[in-house]
């Protein structure tokens, strides 16, 4: 061992004096450190008090108690004191063990000739080039500590999410069960999660702080903010003086704000959360209100009653509360003001920064699915508009520091002033509908003359009536007039046609205000298309996620059934990855961004949406790309929704695409979330290789793409799978991890495949992955007389 270290030192200089920088010729070994220029932080090797394992970490230099704020190799500890931390070309910071094997590395992807690593006085460890451009920084990959200057949130351009994850225990820095996120879904709020399960929510940002964290207010120690725009959403804070402060997530899931007390020479907890039972996410269910001042901490909001009185009496509040009088949007609803509350979960919400509270009320009143509204920003007396859709979850009484929220109620539940306002609105609405009716008659008469034989009626009227009923019952989608769609598509001109699917043709359209849209028109005689139309409208209208294609509205007039989507200028994923010239436009960072985006979209479908959706037809042509190459999952015509605790189902009608269907679905009609995971795994391997699974050919064997990838994996030659057109932009460790994850997803047995939350975590973190087992459809193909016969190989 000493001989190996001596040889190593011949070509590298050990840092002989205190410095804040490592280069390709200067490294540190165990027992040595580097110190930031201002002396605030130190980087080196350490052990916890009850372990001999060694880790590379960063800690405060000027504090007597060693307080580690970041750990590099938290999952793969060194087993002795022979570790070496160095910088290597083309721009990586690596940690080697006693056998000189790399056990941890930064994930810098840009190759440079003279990389350096520097410990900044903020506690940020950066790898940069000679011009000072950051290639990687530890602030993007924190462990359990949130330091001043960090951005906790998501970058929509790169797809990177920065969040903190607790240690497994106070003696083991490996990632534990708890994570802390700034969640941008709907409107920004912070979450503590245990795995994928929400544990605590701060409430939405209100301009002064988070509505559910009254202890976090303006103070002389630090200032904080939430920034949200088209490019990024993040929460950050900065110090106002010389006081040292940090935020940590403990191994048991408690977020704690600490300050250093110079008099006592100890850390003092400034605030912590969750700190009482009412901080448990959704404890009282929908429309329930939690109040620690009551003996029964859960109660129903005024005008609401327990949904299940028997369970409620037994202190099981999970089913929440329901309105005593149901809403009747068509005949007029109103709003009641509720004061002093932590605002409900904003997962299903929308907002406007410029709308007044009165405008906010009108918008909510005119949208039947809108259940509540409030001011967005209370920092200057109240401005902006925050709207909720669906049930209101996780409300808590906050005496003296809560906010006002206006909740939709039936008109009979309002006071006299409220009833008078609803009456005026109802009369106005009735008059408007009357005028609209007259206008519609005139439009229909004109249209009958202009388009007397637009299409033949080939679909039974009772089925069409059913679609109308479903639309009224389940949706609040914008309705487009047929005349507008005809104008936008130039009367469904063949020159506007984008493609043809099982649903029907798809056209590009331009609305009068200039917005480009994609128009899907139900095929005239397609009964399958009608089923897909109903499924897609009911399903996707309730889904909102940046990695799902957005449904803008629909048109249901007579025999015409049309869906209007956001237009995707870069078409679909298969348009790029399977084309020899266009595939070069997708370098490795873009492909990884697409893979991670697809995974996040599937995670939303499987876990975070109000419905548990199984897509059943994930494939490259159903992944659309926007102008910034962000992936959007599309085509929900064959999707199925699960309710309650359902996890799988069986069908006699197998729909999907050959090459992407899982073995249990293709052979037995059994589908589950693991069916989508299989399809995702195929997609990953296709994106990495640039080859289609179904037509893959390799000289030397007749395996499909999955079998070829698995053979390379077994031989340790995985990188031979990668598309040669991205060789100049790849990062080998990221590629190896992505191939490994793809193979885990396509394993033969569904129970061996990871769920999508695990997939998202594995793709974004340097973790030890389980060994992949044989993939499904591990086939040997024999081509005879231009016909292909398939023989399944028995599992060995």
- Of 566, 593, 612, which residue constitutes the final position of a domain? 566
* Residue 116 neighbours by CB distance under 10 Å: 20
Question: What total of structural domains would you count in the chain?
Answer: 4
Long-range contacts of 288-291 (CB under 8 A, 24+ apart): 288/317, 288/320, 288/321, 288/395, 289/341, 289/395, 289/396, 289/397, 290/395, 290/396, 290/397, 291/396, 291/397
Residue 386 predicted with pLDDT over 90:
yes
State mean pLDDT over 53-64. Answer: 96
Q: Is residue 116 part of a domain?
A: yes
| Residue 441: predicted pLDDT | 47
Q: Which residue has the tokens 């950050």?
A: 236
Q: Which DSSP state fits 207?
A: S
Q: Is residue 251 part of a domain?
A: no
| Residue 710: predicted pLDDT | 92
d(CA 121, CA 213): 30
Share in percent of the chain as helix, strand, coil (round to 5):
25, 30, 45
Supply the mean pLDDT for the chain. 83
Residues 530 and 632 in one domain: no
Q: Which DSSP state fits 229?
A: S
Q: Of 183, 291, 617, 723, which one is the catalytic site residue? A: 617
Q: What is the per-residue pLDDT across 678-732, written as a single tens digit (0 to 9) for each?
A: 999 999 999 999 999 877 766 556 788 999 999 999 988 888 899 888 867 777 7
b/e string for 432-445 if b means 16 or more Cβ within 10 A?
Answer: eeeeeeeeeeeeee
| Residue 443: predicted pLDDT | 44
Overall pTM surpassing 0.75 (yes/no): no
| Residue 148: predicted pLDDT | 95
Q: Is residue 178 part of a domain?
A: no
Q: What is the per-residue pLDDT across 495-548, written as a single tens digit (0 to 9) for each?
A: 899 887 666 789 999 998 889 999 988 766 554 455 667 767 766 777 778 999
State mean pLDDT over 460-487. Answer: 59
Nearest CA to 215 among 279, 298, 296?
279
Q: What is the per-residue pLDDT across 423-436, written as a single tens digit (0 to 9) for each?
A: 445 544 445 455 54
Please state the separation of Cα 740 from the chain's center in Å.
21
* Beta-carbon-side half-sphere exposure of residue 611 (alpha carbons within 13 Å): 15
Run of H or E residues at 733:
helix 732-745
* Number of residues in the chain: 796
Is residue 184 helix, strand or coil? coil
Q: Which DSSP state fits 345?
A: P
Residues 704 and 769 in one domain: yes
Run of H or E residues at 540:
helix 527-540
| Residue 115: predicted pLDDT | 92
| Residue 462: predicted pLDDT | 31
- Of 541, 566, 591, which residue constitutes the final position of a domain? 566
Residues 629 and 537 in one domain: no
State mean pLDDT over 273-295. Answer: 92
Nearest CA to 203 among 391, 351, 346?
346
Residues 136 and 21 in one domain: yes
568 close to 624: Cβ distance less than 8 angstroms: yes
| Residue 218: predicted pLDDT | 75
Residues 542 and 602 in one domain: no
d(CA 41, CA 138): 13
284 close to 301: Cβ distance less than 8 angstroms: no
Residues 624 and 555 in one domain: no
Q: Which residue has the tokens 């909720």?
A: 388
Q: Which residues pair with 42 in a beta bridge?
A: 35, 59
What residue numbers bound the domain in which 784 lies? 574-792
Residues 606 and 521 in one domain: no
Residues 539 and 588 in one domain: no
Residues 562 and 591 in one domain: no
Q: What is the per-residue pLDDT across 201-244, written as a single tens digit (0 to 9) for each?
A: 999 999 888 998 887 777 778 888 999 887 899 999 998 888 89
Flag the least confident range among 488-502, 608-622, 637-651: 637-651
Q: Is 316 a catalytic residue?
A: no
Strand 288-290 versus strand 395-397 pairing type: parallel
Q: Could you give phi then psi for residue 92, rounded to 5 degrees? A: -120, 140
Q: Is residue 146 part of a domain?
A: no
Residues 478 and 352 in one domain: no
Residue 790 predicted with pLDDT over 80:
no
């Amino acid at each position: 061992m000493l001989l190996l270290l001596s040889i190593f030192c011949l070509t590298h200089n050990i840092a002989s004096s205190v410095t804040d920088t490592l280069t390709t010729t200067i490294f540190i070994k165990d027992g040595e450190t580097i110190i930031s220029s201002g002396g605030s932080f130190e980087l080196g090797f350490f052990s916890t008090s009850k372990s001999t394992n060694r880790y590379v970490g960063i800690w405060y230099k000027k504090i007597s108690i060693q307080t580690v704020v970041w750990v590099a190799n938290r999952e793969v500890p060194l087993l002795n004191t022979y570790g070496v931390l160095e910088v290597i070309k083309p721009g990586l910071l690596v940690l080697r063990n006693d056998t000189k094997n790399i056990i941890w590395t930064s994930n810098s992807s840009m190759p440079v000739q003279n990389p350096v690593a520097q410990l900044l006085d903020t506690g940020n460890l950066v790898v940069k080039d000679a011009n000072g451009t950051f290639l990687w920084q530890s602030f993007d990959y924190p462990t359990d500590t949130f330091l001043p200057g960090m951005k906790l949130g998501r970058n929509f351009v790169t797809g990177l999410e920065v969040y903190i994850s607790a240690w497994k225990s106070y003696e083991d820095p490996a990632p534990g069960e708890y994570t802390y996120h700034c969640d941008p879904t709907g409107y920004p709020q912070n979450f503590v999660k245990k795995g994928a399960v929400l544990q605590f929510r701060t409430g939405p940002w209100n301009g002064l702080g988070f509505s559910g964290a009254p202890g976090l207010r303006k103070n002389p120690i630090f200032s904080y903010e939430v920034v949200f725009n088209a490019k990024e959403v993040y929460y950050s804070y900065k110090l106002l003086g010389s006081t040292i402060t940090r935020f940590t997530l403990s191994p048991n899931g408690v977020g704690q704000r600490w300050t250093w007390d110079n008099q006592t020479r100890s850390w003092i907890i400034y605030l912590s959360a969750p700190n009482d039972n009412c901080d448990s996410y959704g404890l009282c269910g929908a429309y329930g209100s939690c109040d620690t001042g009551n003996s029964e901490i859960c109660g129903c909001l005024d005008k609401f009653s327990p949904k299940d009185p028997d369970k409620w009496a037994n202190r099981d509040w999970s089913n929440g509360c329901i309105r005593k009088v149901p809403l009747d949007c068509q005949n007029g609803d109103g709003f009641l003001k509720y004061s002093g509350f932590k605002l409900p979960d904003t997962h299903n919400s929308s907002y406007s920064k410029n709308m007044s509270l009165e405008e906010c009320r009108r918008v909510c009143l005119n949208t039947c699915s809108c259940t509540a509204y409030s001011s967005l920003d209370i920092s200057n007396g109240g401005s902006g508009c925050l709207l909720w859709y669906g049930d209101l979850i996780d409300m808590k009484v906050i005496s003296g520091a809560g906010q006002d929220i206006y909740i939709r109620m039936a008109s009979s539940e309002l006071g006299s002033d409220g009833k008078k306002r609803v009456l005026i609105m109802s009369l106005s609405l009735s008059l408007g509908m009357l005028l609209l009716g007259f206008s519609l008659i005139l439009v229909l008469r004109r249209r009958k003359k202009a388009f007397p034989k637009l299409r033949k009626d080939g679909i039974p009227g009772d089925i069409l009536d059913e679609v109308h009923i479903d639309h009224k019952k389940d949706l609040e989608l914008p309705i487009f007039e047929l005349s507008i769609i005809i104008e936008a598509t130039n009367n469904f001109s063949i020159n506007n046609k984008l493609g043809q699917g099982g649903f029907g043709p798809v056209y590009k359209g331009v609305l009068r205000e200039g917005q480009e849209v994609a128009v899907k028109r139900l095929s005239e005689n397609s009964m399958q298309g009608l089923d897909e139309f109903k499924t897609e409208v009911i399903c996707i209208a309730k889904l909102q996620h940046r990695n799902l294609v957005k449904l803008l509205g629909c048109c249901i007039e007579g025999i015409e059934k049309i869906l209007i989507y956001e237009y995707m200028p870069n078409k679909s994923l298969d348009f790029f990855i399977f084309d020899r010239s266009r595939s070069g436009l997708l370098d490795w960072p873009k492909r990884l961004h697409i893979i991670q985006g697809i995974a996040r979209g599937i995670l939303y479908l499987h876990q975070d949406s109000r419905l548990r959706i199984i897509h059943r037809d994930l494939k490259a042509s159903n992944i659309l790309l926007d102008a910034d190459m962000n992936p959007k999952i599309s085509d929900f015509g064959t999707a199925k929704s699960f309710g309650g605790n359902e996890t799988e189902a069986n069908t006699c009608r197998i729909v999907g695409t050959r090459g992407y269907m899982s073995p249990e679905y293709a052979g037995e009609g059994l589908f589950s979330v693991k069916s989508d995971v299989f399809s995702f795994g195929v997609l990953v391997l296709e994106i990495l290789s640039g080859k289609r699974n179904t037509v893959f050919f390799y000289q030397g064997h007749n395996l499909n793409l999955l079998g070829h990838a698995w053979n390379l994996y077994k031989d340790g030659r995985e990188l031979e799978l990668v598309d040669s057109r991205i060789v100049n932009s790849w990062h080998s460790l990221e590629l190896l991890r992505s191939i490994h994850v793809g193979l885990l997803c396509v394993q033969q047995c569904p129970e061996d495949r990871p769920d999508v939350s695990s997939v998202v975590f594995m793709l974004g973190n340097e973790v030890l992955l389980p060994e992949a087992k044989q993939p499904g459809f591990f086939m040997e193909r024999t081509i005879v007389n231009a016909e292909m016969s398939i023989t399944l190989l028995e599992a060995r």
